Chains A and B, each alone.
Chain A
């Protein structure tokens, strides 16, 4: 859970405190009428004057706060208790309980809320005693659904199953494991219900169907002040203000809670990608390579400080060549790929370095120029083809769009070309498939469609970010074959991002191994695989299942997060060959043989 913004908490707390302390403030009796002094201006006894019956406005305002908040808090708390219990029972006991809990809530939801309240008021008569049960029923579905959803998502998880197999009782499992998990959303729901209850209570009281006079209530005060609107407009203003400020505070509390609970809720402000301030010298455009990345460092500003998930990465890929970028998840390989396209997520920014694509520095290009480069000179294939395709658009127009973005040609021609491309990437019956939506295709077919989209304009450079990870092994082989074939016939350069070494062996000419944001080893695939010069590469190779049947050795430990990098070599904590020198200072990437680079200071001992 993130940190909760304190402003709204303080505001709601202050309003509640004032309401609680009202009886001790020595205010005039809010029910005492004094017709002789009706609509009186402010006086020491009545700092905000008096209403049409000569009652103190300030006093009624504060006592009204007690009524509003009492109704709101008791109804939302009761709804929370009952709703949580019902949601837990429905989610855990299943069967008829589940059915009744969920369908019952559906029934409540098919009445507009105010209407249901009015129906009950007709039957039971107005008053706080009617209002609270009605509001409880109205807010019940929210809690039931939130808790039920929480139980369902937790129920099947391993640790709950484990506890059950250890013989823990159902009740204990519910209370121990599930409640803490749904606590956040329930809290949000609670604040929503409280805010909404204040609105409904005041509305019903305004109509004379909520709190009964002479009990002070903001809704009643507003309703009454309408009669004297022309003579005493301020009388209207105070309760309106009190009510609106209270709701504003409660709403702000809801938002703050939601932001604190929901990790996706908060959107950070976008960084201006802009021109890099610190332009390192000596970054001349290199001729020849399809892609040249020079000293690329990517920074992300987090609340805890700036982290660098990619540090000083340099790569060169020639036309016709395939470079594999290998590493565990979190090694920075995907970010490197995205930076090459100028497509870094908005929270990330390039701090140093340059990316030359066909002689142009992608990082310093105007977005409009960069856009024309993307999809034309350099294209990208993403890991998950389902989420990477627009779910509400058919396949052919999505491919045609890539063509039309770079040529003024007619839509018809682009559509025909899209079908051609689908055929080219080996999709059977392309005329029919062109009209499919992404969800109507298999995973392998979707990935082929992605590839068709990427090669539509014969790019000079293709970045493939784990294009086979989401696919099963046979399909994976077909996709690799397809990519190899395409590269062969068009001469494009290919950067293949993957964590799978067997895939690297199959497709790549050279390999760059990344670890914790840095390149730790680079060289020709055959050489690196035969004789790794970095302990991490060696460990990766040892962790792959062997054909001879000997057991793979997993690498102990995990990749350190970019916020907690060890000093010296980032791999040192997991390394078998670690020496004192590894734990201090900066370790440079050394070219130890022509075309072979390693960041290990003990490389000669390894070899």
Chain B
């Protein structure tokens, strides 16, 4: 219980640190931040617009006042308004967040379904044909960046074979089948790299655990190999696999940018890219904050899952 409270405390602290950094980042950049944000292509912005933006971002007040005001606003769930169309940032984020999460979850399921069993089999038949082919495939999958995978998939499956639409989005409520068809390629694209990572981790972890003393003990007891695998090896090998999966899902929270861009998937990262391009700082700030909070929350979930998986953690 103490462990759980401690982890939650640390996570809250991290969220606060993240919020503070995002707050400070724009204000610590040398020069006038409003001017930087408004300047496009080396053209100096009109002074009136700069003054207006300064007022809108509250940059005229003392730093301390700004900070307190900012934090209070965030606590209320107010992420500010977009510089582009004056709409509340939070609304747009809430609309797009589920689409990104859907993509990540679909990719995670696919990659677990492929990566875990193949990693396990490769470890069992290590040095064999399957192991060599799968390890080689994983190495290739890891070497091809997601946006390359995505682009090539469009070229092959959409333009070449016409198996799937090249990209876009339709809500599930309107066209369930079309929604899933559109989801398939981006989810698969993300899953390729993730499955390769999971494959490697599973293989390494299972091999590592197989060489532990307690596996030898189980063999010395005369326990059947299948039971040793299920009861002793897998259970202990799961910890590092879960860690790696969670860490990668975390970095996917920001890392779907490229895939969403390639497939025109209107998720959170698409919002981020357009906000970055438009130098819409409130929107960037909002997205970064939300994703970081999710990231921290995910790490917390992993820590808590540890406590379930490994009784030794509960004490510490």
Chain A residues engaging chain B, CB cutoff 8 angstroms: 106-107, 110-116, 118-125, 199, 202-203, 206-209, 219, 222, 226, 229-230, 233, 236, 240, 243-245, 247-248, 251-252, 267, 269-270, 341, 343, 345, 371-376, 379-380, 382, 384, 387-393, 401-402, 405-406, 437, 439, 450, 453-454, 456
A222-B144 Cα distance, complex, nearest whole Å = 13
Specify which of A112, A124, A206 lies most central, judged by the most chain B CB atoms within 10 Å of its CB: A112
Say whether B21 faces chain A, with CB atoms less than 8 Å apart: yes
With A222-B148, A245-B143, A391-B312 known as contacts, the answer to whether A112 contacts B250 (CB < 8 A) is yes
Taking CB atoms and an 8 Å cut-off, the chain B residues in 2-30 that contact chain A are: 14, 17-18, 21-22, 25-26, 29
A230 partner residues in chain B, CB cutoff 8 A: 159
Nearest-Cβ distance from residue A522 to partner chain B, whole angstroms: 26
Tell whether, in the assembled complex, residue A390 and residue B222 are in contact, meaning their CB atoms are under 8 Å apart: no
Say whether B102 faces chain A, with CB atoms less than 8 Å apart: no
A124-B252 Cα distance, complex, nearest whole Å = 24
**Can you name 7 extra interface pairs (CB under 8 A) apart from A222-B151, A387-B212, A456-B221?**
A202-B145, A243-B148, A247-B143, A384-B213, A390-B218, A392-B312, A405-B224
Nearest-Cβ distance from residue B59 to partner chain A, whole angstroms: 14
A538-B51 Cα distance, complex, nearest whole Å = 95
**Residue in A110, A375, A376, A390 whose CB lies within 8 Å of B18:** A110
Tell whether, in the assembled complex, residue A236 and residue B155 are in contact, meaning their CB atoms are under 8 Å apart: yes
Q: Which residue of A has the minimal Cβ distance to B219?
A: A343
Tell whether, in the assembled complex, residue A112 and residue B251 are in contact, meaning their CB atoms are under 8 Å apart: yes
Say whether B253 faces chain A, with CB atoms less than 8 Å apart: yes
A233 partner residues in chain B, CB cutoff 8 A: 155
Nearest-Cβ distance from residue B278 to partner chain A, whole angstroms: 9
A500-B33 Cα distance, complex, nearest whole Å = 75
A553-B276 Cα distance, complex, nearest whole Å = 76
Tell whether, in the assembled complex, residue A392 and residue B235 are in contact, meaning their CB atoms are under 8 Å apart: yes
Tell whether, in the assembled complex, residue A391 and residue B159 are in contact, meaning their CB atoms are under 8 Å apart: no
A371 partner residues in chain B, CB cutoff 8 A: 219, 222-225
With A112-B250, A123-B29 known as contacts, the answer to whether A270 contacts B127 (CB < 8 A) is yes
Tell whether, in the assembled complex, residue A392 and residue B236 are in contact, meaning their CB atoms are under 8 Å apart: yes
Nearest-Cβ distance from residue B210 to partner chain A, whole angstroms: 9
Nearest-Cβ distance from residue B261 to partner chain A, whole angstroms: 6
Tell whether, in the assembled complex, residue B214 and residue A389 are in contact, meaning their CB atoms are under 8 Å apart: yes
Tell whether, in the assembled complex, residue B284 and residue A401 are in contact, meaning their CB atoms are under 8 Å apart: no
Tell whether, in the assembled complex, residue A401 and residue B288 are in contact, meaning their CB atoms are under 8 Å apart: no
A459-B212 Cα distance, complex, nearest whole Å = 24
Nearest-Cβ distance from residue A235 to partner chain B, whole angstroms: 11
B148 partner residues in chain A, CB cutoff 8 A: 222, 240, 243-244
Tell whether, in the assembled complex, residue B273 and residue A209 are in contact, meaning their CB atoms are under 8 Å apart: yes
Q: How large is the interface on B (under 10, 10 to 19, 20 to 34, 35 or more residues)?
A: 35 or more
B213 partner residues in chain A, CB cutoff 8 A: 382, 384, 387-388
Tell whether, in the assembled complex, residue B127 and residue A114 are in contact, meaning their CB atoms are under 8 Å apart: no
Tell whether, in the assembled complex, residue B220 and residue A114 are in contact, meaning their CB atoms are under 8 Å apart: no
A167-B180 Cα distance, complex, nearest whole Å = 70
A248-B232 Cα distance, complex, nearest whole Å = 34
Nearest-Cβ distance from residue B270 to partner chain A, whole angstroms: 10
Tell whether, in the assembled complex, residue B18 and residue A111 are in contact, meaning their CB atoms are under 8 Å apart: yes
Nearest-Cβ distance from residue A267 to partner chain B, whole angstroms: 5
Tell whether, in the assembled complex, residue A374 and residue B315 are in contact, meaning their CB atoms are under 8 Å apart: no
Q: Which residue of A has the minimal Cβ distance to B314?
A: A437
Nearest-Cβ distance from residue A540 to partner chain B, whole angstroms: 27
Nearest-Cβ distance from residue A348 to partner chain B, whole angstroms: 13
Nearest-Cβ distance from residue B32 to partner chain A, whole angstroms: 12
Tell whether, in the assembled complex, residue A437 and residue B288 are in contact, meaning their CB atoms are under 8 Å apart: no
Could you list 21 A-B pairs, sorted by A, with CB under 8 Å? A110-B292, A112-B255, A112-B291, A112-B292, A112-B295, A118-B276, A122-B275, A124-B29, A203-B145, A203-B257, A207-B257, A209-B273, A219-B147, A236-B151, A247-B144, A371-B222, A374-B222, A384-B213, A402-B223, A405-B222, A437-B311
B232 partner residues in chain A, CB cutoff 8 A: 390, 393
Nearest-Cβ distance from residue A171 to partner chain B, whole angstroms: 32
A391-B224 Cα distance, complex, nearest whole Å = 19
A503-B116 Cα distance, complex, nearest whole Å = 47
By Cβ-Cβ distance, the 4 closest A-B pairs, closest first, are: A115-B254, A375-B222, A112-B254, A248-B143
Nearest-Cβ distance from residue B24 to partner chain A, whole angstroms: 11
With A269-B127, A387-B214, A401-B218 known as contacts, the answer to whether A114 contacts B151 (CB < 8 A) is no
Chain B 207-218: CB-based contact to A (< 8 A → 1; otherwise 0): 100011110111
Nearest-Cβ distance from residue B137 to partner chain A, whole angstroms: 12
Nearest-Cβ distance from residue B277 to partner chain A, whole angstroms: 8
Tell whether, in the assembled complex, residue B295 and residue A110 are in contact, meaning their CB atoms are under 8 Å apart: yes
Nearest-Cβ distance from residue B67 to partner chain A, whole angstroms: 17
Q: Which residue of A has the minimal Cβ distance to B239?
A: A392
With A115-B254, A230-B159 known as contacts, the answer to whether A380 contacts B220 (CB < 8 A) is yes
A114 partner residues in chain B, CB cutoff 8 A: 251, 254-255, 257-258
